[in-house]
Amino acid sequence: MDAKADVPMLAFDNAARVYGKGDKAVRALGPVTLEVMPGELVAIMGPSGSGKSTLLSLAGALDVPTEGRVCIHGKDLSQQSMAELAELRRRVIGFVFQDLNLLPGLTAIENVALPLELDGMKLSRARAAAAEALNGVKLSSMADRFPDDLSGGEQQRVAIARAHVGPRQLMLADEPTGALDSVTGELVMRLLRQQCDRGRTVVLVTHDAAHAAWADRVLYLRDGLLVAPVEAALPSSLAETAGRA
């Protein structure tokens, strides 16, 4: 999918997810209206139960809204067949989770190539794309190692490579730094930032403000709703004080 710069990569239009019916209905999310443009890194913060994971499930076409619409690069997900949704998940959307979900029986490069192979790509082409993705996360030298022989940070980098391998443009990351120490967590954030600077789009759910700060925009969810942004007068900049403006 070519990412046209003026079409949002991800759009929520009054989208809501309600579980159950009548008196027992529980509103997990929404209505939420949100646009994420190609190349943007957006962080979502909020307390447990505020709807962060529901938002990510809807964005990833893993779930459907009960009200409103969710569009990926202009395509309304509710208008897509199951096969089309599956194709979106294979070709457009990549996921990065806190628990890495790498397959222990496959090497790093095999793990990264897997989504392409499942999508019917020739083995040699899939491997070449996987090698390039691993290079992008500076893990070329570890390509033939199994997950168990990699540190937590290296495994997360493999997961990031797998999430953006091939043509995929939208990465959805759910607490990707949750299990990592601060230095490794920062490395992962630098990689996600780089992916956006190269034109990919990332939506990141995190409870860590220091990691959220790598984003272009930080949004807060509370009780399923986005908290309205406020104008905050910026305090005098440190760079000016230090003569670096």
Partner 1 sequence: MSVRNSLLAILASDPAHGYGLKSSFEESTAGAWPLNVGQVYTTLGRLERDGLVQAEPSEEEGPRQTWRITDLGREVLEEWYASPVTSDPPARDELTLKVLLAAAGDDVDVSAIIHKERTATMERLQQLTRHKQKADPDKELPWLLLLDALILKASAEINWLDLCEERLEHRAQSKDGGADGR
Residues found near partner 1 in the complex (CB under 8 A):
47, 190, 193, 208-210, 212-215, 218, 220, 227, 229-230, 232-235, 237-239, 241-244
Nearer to partner 1, 138 or 190 (CB): 190
Q: Least Å distance between CB 215 and partner 1?
A: 7
Q: Least Å distance between CB 188 and partner 1?
A: 14
Q: How far apart are CA 82 and CA 18, in angstroms?
A: 21
Nearer to partner 1, 151 or 237 (CB): 237
Buried b (16+ CB within 10 A) or exposed e, 36-62: bbbbbbbbbbbeeebbbbbbbbbbbbe
Nearer to partner 1, 118 or 213 (CB): 213
Q: Least Å distance between CB 102 and partner 1?
A: 28
Q: Least Å distance between CB 206 and partner 1?
A: 11
Q: Write the Ramachandran bin of 66: left for phi over 0, alpha for psi from -120 to 50, otherwise beta.
A: alpha
Nearer to partner 1, 11 or 34 (CB): 34
Cβ neighbours of residue 108 under 8 Å, at least 6 residues apart? 102, 134, 139, 142, 143, 144, 145, 146, 147, 150, 158, 161
Q: Are 32 and 130 in contact (CB under 8 A)?
A: no
Nearer to partner 1, 47 or 199 (CB): 47
Q: Least Å distance between CB 59 and partner 1?
A: 21
Chain mean position to CA 78: 21
